[in-house]
Structure formats: structure tokens, C-alpha cells
Homo-oligomer: A and B are copies of this chain.
């Protein structure tokens, strides 16, 4: 394989290419050193087993290619004084990024202990993928990283999110050909259709076609050239090809091609900006085909290594026991000629140092990659202005998410290029459409006449909608990581599509928060709506409230879960979340019309506490109650309230305390979560010995998981979704899962000592009412309004 594409070549002086090659050799030397050496970092002595790490860990395969891209981008940063950042999709090749980051000085500035000398180099080598050291991916510890690349698939969407509203920035993103097989990556190529050439920066993807994954060829490396080219043209990019294995040929081709791409990007941007017309552009991208593990030994013991999957991790593994392999390793390391590259005391020679960009032009030192430094707090309207007038609790209804749409609209208005809203084509369905009054949906592709009436599309839109939760989440993460703010609303059942991404972001935030040099970034705000209880015609497949079970397992410093029961609580919660940082805020609130409980001042007080007794709904009058009824979530709260009314009518002397929970982690012990309630506070609210009937939005066991150490846990009876569902009216679904008022009232009757005998008659009446409700639904297709249009009957 020697093919290179020189059609874009310009005459780049040989000396310059040789210097780039030397810089690249220095990178490769360091990358190999990280994997193998714990001593003798400059190979001053013949290599011996004692110089080697006892355990060889790390991925060599992608490293040389990553360094290759990095050093070539450096040339263009200097040439054009470009602001740029670098994302390594195959983050497993971290040595290939760590190396140039170290060589350009940023690493030592961040971690002075890893100095730019022999001792520092030895430290760099030793700590890599070493217990107590640093990871083998582009983790948060790596200056310049906003993308760990441990889990594959999100590099291109992260890069795109970083480019939004950064008109001068070029985000160079290495996409591994393994990663390219994942679904999230495969659809994220469409991201280019959402890059506005006037107000956004550019993404320059480099598909790294090194041919192999762990043990297999990659699909894209084994299809005909014409197919590969068609694929990227079809995705809407203009592909350039740089292919080969001879370093100098490849330097020549890569230098010319990257330069052509950068110039093309700048031309497209300039033309759009001069014309003022934002249109979709066919942006350039590069296919870089190199051998896997490029420059490592070609063949050992008759087994092909360079250019084959065997180069994926550690190319030579028997070096401790096989002297011949040790010799090959030494030969390999010396092939980079470290003596030419480093001074006697282990510094990069000055001629090479001069190749790196300076100061914040270094991709590793770009403030965009430490977005908290650039973060400006959102300018927030007063959320009270969107308040719903609730003169008496639980007597009127409204769509919970609609006023939030108005609030988001005004946040959008106030925050120019600092805020975006994301959604999988559901913002209207989710009743957030007020936002379109200020900002339409971004659309740069073709327009049709009918878009005029109801399309809500605009090339300047700041609402991003695509039917890929993966891409949206990736864009949002990239946007937040580079210092901006955002909001993503999505259907509850399908937020599971991004389980793994949210896991990874939580892990990133957990580590980043421990690094003093990383400034806090805006929180990831997820509104989970179209919830399990209102899937009237979508049925069983759309019923899954289990995302919360995933979130609670992540680090408590990061995770927050809120279930505001009504409009005013949602507004207060959203205001809090949008002002927070370094959190993952999950807000669960349905979009349909729901009964309203609290006026704004009560809502603020309630949300500030996170949970509390609703005096107006309780009749324990400050005394010890006979039973505690709890609602958590919109519909469960309504049903729990309706149950208290049924019970008060049937048992006028029964003392019921009503509690609503907004902030789920208040249920945790305070040692487990910063929002956890003290045991004494918990006991005084939930009592230590009275039955607690807890009506929960999600899977019921989650409440036990949070509260199992509380004194009164044995009396805690939780109701929630238990996977009973089909095409149901809301009330029927509630009955099937026993979160309805009748089931709750029956539960109370059987739990409160002394009630069960007296209550036998009431219990039968409630059972009859359940049957009647179901019959009504099966006859008319809707709930009996006499039951569903329930309001709180007392003053």
C-alpha cells in the first residue's frame, strides 16, 4: 500500500516535512515508551528487562496515526494562526495524544511533577496506564481533552457540539474505523447538516482507516474505494484521501491535504459570512489510511504485526522472557533515533520545539477544552413570571411543560450564543413550542413551500432536532464541555437509548471535579417527559421509567433527580438546574394536562426543601398521624391525594399526613448523597412506626433502594410501575399497576391497625369502583370524567 493522493499537493519544503517527521518520531518514541519503559527513558543504556514495566498495558495501534494528525494540524495552526482543538475518537490510542501534549509543554504546566526533562519523561512513561497513575484513554486528566474515547461512538457529535457558536474554531476529530461501525457514530456524520457556516465553527473529521479493531478487519477498510467515497459524499461530506505507509510520502500528502481542507473550510465560511446567507455546506473530511500500529516491527516470529490486528494493543508481549523480542523492542525504539530528538537532559531539541504552536494556540491549552474557564452564567429571567395562578390547591389543571417552554424561550432570547435546546423531534409534542417564538428549529438542508406554514424551520434556529438521541446528547455534551449551556427534552422510555452516554458523562464529571485546574461546566439538564403513565396509544413499548435506576448508581456528587408535580414546581426546579454546574439534572415531568397543586411561593418553598408535608392535604394537624401518604411524580401525587379523600370520607377520624417528594435524593441517607435527609428529619416526617404508603412515579424498588436504612423502612409500602401495560387509559394503567386511588386506599385499610374490619365495606366499594372504571374505559375509550376530573374537595 503506497497510494497517496497528491492532487492537492503544493510545494512544501522538504526540510519542513523532515522536521515534521522528526516531531512525529518523537511522539512515537514517547508513545512506545509509555507502554514499555519504567526506566532508561532516553535509552542511554542498552535496554534490559529491569527497564521494562512489569505489566505491559496500553494500545499502540492507533497511537502513531493520532500523533500524525496532531503534528500536521500544528503546522496549520501556526501557518494560519488558527484556534483549534483535537478529539481522539479512538481514545485508547491516548499515548499518541499524550505525546504531543507533553512535547508542547502543556502537560508539564498542568502537572509540574512531569517535567520536560529526563526525570519527567520517566515519570510520564511510568505513570501511563499504571496504578495510581493516569488512564490509557484521553481522560479528563489529559489537558486538551474533551472526549475520553473509552466508549466508542461519540467523537463526531462531541466535536460538532464544540463547534456550535464558536465561529473561528476548527475541531479536528479523529474517527476510528472501529468506532465508525457503531450506530451513534454512523448517524453522527449527518451532524454536518447542522453546522451553520456563519455562526458555527468547523469540524474536520479524519477517518483513521488503519484497518483493524481488536482482532478483526474493519468494514470500511475492506470495501472498494468507490464505495467508501460514495458513502461520505452520500453523508454530505467531500472526502479527501491520504493513503500509504511511507512516512515522507505520507507527510507530503497529509500536509497538502490538510492545508487544502483548512483553506476550503475558511473559504466556505468566508463566502457565507460575506453573503450573510447561511446554507448547508459540503464540508471537507479526510480518509487517512495507514497501517495499524504504523512504524512498529513488521513481522516477528513469522507473525505480521505492523498493519495487522496484532498491533492493536502491545505489539511485542514476550519481551520479559524472550531476549530476541527484547532486542527487537530496543531496535524498534531506537528506530525513532531519540538521540536526534532530545537533548542530553531529555528536552525536545529547540528546532522541534519551534514547531509547536504557542500558548493557547496549542490544542492542549485551548480554553475551549477547559470550558468552565469560558463559561458565562446564563442570564435568567425571573421564573416567577411564568407562574401559574393556583388559588386553591388541586382544583385546576394545566399542561406542566408549557410554561417551561415560555421560560426557555426567554432564556434563549437573553443568552444569544450561549444556550441551545435539543430534542428528538419532540419539542412541540412535549409542549415546549413557545420557544419557537424566539428561535426556530435549525434547518440548513432543502426547503419546500409548505415549510412556511407550520414548519418552524430556519437556518438561524437554535433549537436542534434530529431523530437520534445519541447525536443530540453528544452535541449537548460537546456544547457543555466547551463552556456553554443547554437543555435536552426527551421521551422517558427512550432516554434509555443514551444510558451509556449518560454513564460516561457522569464518569467524566466525577473525575473532572477532582481536578483543580478544570473549571466547573454547566450541568447536563435532561427533561424526561411523555412519561410512562401517559402512553395512552403507544402502549407497553413506551412505558419504562427505569432511567432513574441507572442514574442513582452514578457518583452522588454528580447526580440529581427531581420529580416536580406541577407547573410551578417544574419552573422552580428548572431555574435551579439551569443555574447549577457539574451535575446531571434529571427532571421528570409529564407534558399532558395535569392537576395543579401549589402557587408559586409555596412551590419555591417546597422545592427548596425538596420534600415536605402538604398541610392543606393532611389532617394530622401536627399530631402523630395514623398513616403517611406520599406522592412522588405528577400522576402518582394526584392519585395519592384522591386516595386520602376517599379515606377521609370513609374514616373521618383517620389522621393522614400527606407528603410530596420533588428531590428524590432527599430520601437517601445524608452520608450517601449531599441532598440526603438526616435520619432525625426523616423520622419526624415519615414517623418511625406508622405505615407509609409511597406512590412513586417509577419502579417501586428504587424507593426501597434509597430508604432501606431508615428506621421506619419495614412500614414503607411503595407503589409504582411494575410492567403491567398495554393500550390503557391513564386510570386503567394506574389500576393495573396499583398506583390508583382505590388501590392505595385499600392498602391503607389493610395497613392501619384496626381499620381492616371496619373497612371491609369500604374496601369492597373501592374494588367495585375499579371495575367500573375499567368498564367505562373499555366501553368509551376514555376515563370516566366523574373519576378522572377529580379535584380536591376541601378548603
The chain A residues found within 8 Å of chain B, CB to CB, are 38, 53-55, 57-58, 129-137, 139, 148, 150-153, 178-179, 181-188, 190, 193, 213-219, 222-224, 226-236, 302-304, 307-310, 425-429, 441, 443, 445-448, 450-451, 453-457, 465-468, 470-471, 493-494, 496-497, 499-500, 503-504, 507, 510-511, 536-542, 544, 546, 549-550, 552-555, 699, 701-702, 704-705, 708, 713, 723, 726-729, 732, 774, 777-778, 780-782
Copies of the polypeptide in the assembly: 2
Inside 8 A of A777's CB, which chain B residues have their CB? 131-132
A500 x B504 contact (CB < 8 A):
no
A179 x B467 contact (CB < 8 A):
yes
Inside 8 A of A150's CB, which chain B residues have their CB? 538-542
B190 x A187 contact (CB < 8 A):
no
- CA of A729 to CA of B453, assembled, Å: 61
B234 x A553 contact (CB < 8 A):
no
A452 to chain B, nearest CB (A): 10
Inside 8 A of A230's CB, which chain B residues have their CB? 230-231, 233-234
- CA of A716 to CA of B215, assembled, Å: 44
B217 x A454 contact (CB < 8 A):
no
A53 x B781 contact (CB < 8 A):
yes
Inside 8 A of A184's CB, which chain B residues have their CB? 183
A453 x B304 contact (CB < 8 A):
yes
B185, B229, B446, B541: the one contacting A222 at CB < 8 Å is B446
B55 x A782 contact (CB < 8 A):
yes
Inside 8 A of A499's CB, which chain B residues have their CB? 496-497, 499-500, 550
Most buried by B among A134, A428, A503: A503
A568 to chain B, nearest CB (A): 27
Inside 8 A of A781's CB, which chain B residues have their CB? 38, 53-55, 130-131
Inside 8 A of A232's CB, which chain B residues have their CB? 234
CB contact under 8 A between A465 and B216, given known A187-B181, A549-B550: yes
B148 x A727 contact (CB < 8 A):
no
A182 x B181 contact (CB < 8 A):
no
A456 x B215 contact (CB < 8 A):
yes
A223 x B723 contact (CB < 8 A):
no
- CA of A770 to CA of B773, assembled, Å: 62
A219 x B445 contact (CB < 8 A):
yes
B467 x A213 contact (CB < 8 A):
yes
CB contact under 8 A between A151 and B216, given known A186-B183, A467-B178: no
A527 to chain B, nearest CB (A): 17
B428 x A214 contact (CB < 8 A):
yes
Inside 8 A of A185's CB, which chain B residues have their CB? 183, 187
Name which residue of chain B comes closest to A724, CB basis.
Answer: B555
- CA of A228 to CA of B227, assembled, Å: 13
A231 x B235 contact (CB < 8 A):
yes
B130, B427, B727: the one contacting A133 at CB < 8 Å is B727
A132 x B778 contact (CB < 8 A):
yes
CB contact under 8 A between A555 and B723, given known A136-B539, A182-B183, A443-B217: yes
Inside 8 A of A705's CB, which chain B residues have their CB? 701-702, 704-705
Inside 8 A of A446's CB, which chain B residues have their CB? 222-224
Q: With A153-B497, A214-B428, A217-B457 given, can you name 11 additional A-B contacts, CB distance below 8 Å?
A: A136-B727, A150-B542, A151-B494, A183-B184, A214-B429, A219-B445, A304-B453, A308-B454, A546-B550, A549-B550, A553-B699
